[in-house]
């Protein structure tokens, strides 16, 4: 009877098991010791079912610093292709960039993120896109904790009857508020960089008003 409630162990590939094993370790409670992975994806569109990831850019943030050589950038070979997206992202299939398969990209991505805390702007979208890709390859969802800079930013605004917060804040608006140059906008890693700088500044603003611990970040 007890066996019935036991999680049914599926046969996942080794790289997944290695990834999952890292979650047995608890996250440090001191924010400066936590590894954040700030990411952004470029996709063929906004439909979770039919659209595909074209590239993933991510960088690793620890104690308010980013090591450039530890950033992550992959371009995917997707036979599924919307020409209209080329205009936005400038990712051309013919461009001589190293392209890898979706499964290869997922393998590298999982290895890169480990048990870090994921950060993205409108994170829901990027995470769902990645989860869909994982599902297509028969794997469960990401196990990482996720933070969304668009939500955190709203929390960092002062509470004043005179300020009516917007429903949504775009990455461009954040870049403007925090004086971050937007010249690499619409490349996955470029957007991840903007998000990372904004994230650090938002956390600092939150920290000033409250004694912030990691736990309070996803309250």
Partner 1 sequence: MKNTIAHRVADFLKNYPPFNEIGIKDLEALSQEIKIVYKVKDAVIFDEDEKAHAYFYVVHKGAVALTKKNDTDLVDLCDEGDIFGLRPLMANEDYKIGAKAYEESILYAIPIVEFRPFTNNHEGVANFLMESFASNTRNPYSIVRKGKLFQEGPEVTAAKPTSDLLDLQTVNYSKKLVSCSPNTTVKTIASRMTKKRVGAMLVLENKLPIGIITDKDLRNKIATGAFPISARAKDIMSAPVITYPTKMTMAQAQMAMMKSGISHLCLTVDGTPNTEAVGIVSKHDIMLELGNNPAVLMKAIKRAEKFKKIKKIRHNIMNLLKGYLEQNIPLTLISKIITELNDACIKQVIKISLEKLDGPPPVKFAWLAMGSQGRSEQLLHTDQDNALIFENVDEGQLQATKAYFLDLAKKVTKGLNEIGYEYCPAEMMASNPEWCLSLSEWKERTTHWITNPGKDQVLLSSIFFDYNRSYGDAELVGELTAHILSTTQKYPIFFVHLASGALQNPSPSGFFRSFLVEENGAHKDFFDLKRRALMPLVEGARVLVLSSQVKSINNTAERFEKLAELEPNNRELFLACSYATKALLKFRTKQGLLHNDSGRFIALDTLTKEEKIKLKRTFKTIKELQELIKIRFKVANLVG
Residues that bind partner 1 (CB under 8 A): 57, 59, 64-69, 71, 73, 97-98, 157-158, 160-163, 176-177, 179, 181, 183-184, 187, 189-190, 193, 197, 200-201, 204, 208-210
Which pair of tokens denotes residue 172?
A: 């461009």
Q: Which is nearer to partner 1, 19 or 36 (CB)?
A: 36
Instruction: Give yes or no for a contact between 30 and 216, defined as CB atoms under 8 angstroms apart.
Output: no
Report the distance separating Cα 149 and Cα 187, nearest Å: 18
Residue 93, classed as helix, strand or coil, is coil
Instruction: Give dist(CA 157, CA 53) in Å, integer.
Output: 32
Beta carbon of residue 6, minimum distance to partner 1 (angstroms, whole number): 44
Give the shortest CB-137-to-partner 1 separation in angstroms: 24
Q: How many residues are listed for the chain in this entry?
A: 219
* Residue 11 vs 160, nearer CB to partner 1: 160
CB 70 within 8 A of CB 214: no
CB of 202 to partner 1, least distance (A): 11
Indicate the residue among 150 and 187 with the shorter CB distance to partner 1. Answer: 187
Residues 6+ apart with CB under 8 A from 67: 60
Task: Provide the minimum distance between the beta carbon of 44 and partner 1 in the complex, in angstroms, as a whole number.
Answer: 20
Nearer to partner 1, 131 or 156 (CB): 156
């Amino acid at each position: 009877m007890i066996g019935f409630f036991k999680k049914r162990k599926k046969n996942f590939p080794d790289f997944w098991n290695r990834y999952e094993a890292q979650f047995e370790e608890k996250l440090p409670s001191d924010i400066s010791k936590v590894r954040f992975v700030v990411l952004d994806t470029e996709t063929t569109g906004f439909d979770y079912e039919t659209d595909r990831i074209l590239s993933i850019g991510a960088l690793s943030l620890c104690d308010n610093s980013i090591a450039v050589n530890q950033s992550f950038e992959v371009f995917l070979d997707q036979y599924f292709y919307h020409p209209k997206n080329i205009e936005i992202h400038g990712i051309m299939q013919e461009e001589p960039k190293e392209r890898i398969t979706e499964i290869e990209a997922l393998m590298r991505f999982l290895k890169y993120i480990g048990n870090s805390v994921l950060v993205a702007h409108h994170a829901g979208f990027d995470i769902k896109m990645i989860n869909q890709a994982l599902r297509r390859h028969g794997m469960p969802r990401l196990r990482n904790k996720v933070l969304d800079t668009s939500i955190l930013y709203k929390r960092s605004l002062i509470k004043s009857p005179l300020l009516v917060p917007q429903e949504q804040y775009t990455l461009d608006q954040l870049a403007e508020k925090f004086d971050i140059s937007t010249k690499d906008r619409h490349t996955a890693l470029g957007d991840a960089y903007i998000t990372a700088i904004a994230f650090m500044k938002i956390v600092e603003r939150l920290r000033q008003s409250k004694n912030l611990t990691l736990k309070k970040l996803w309250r």
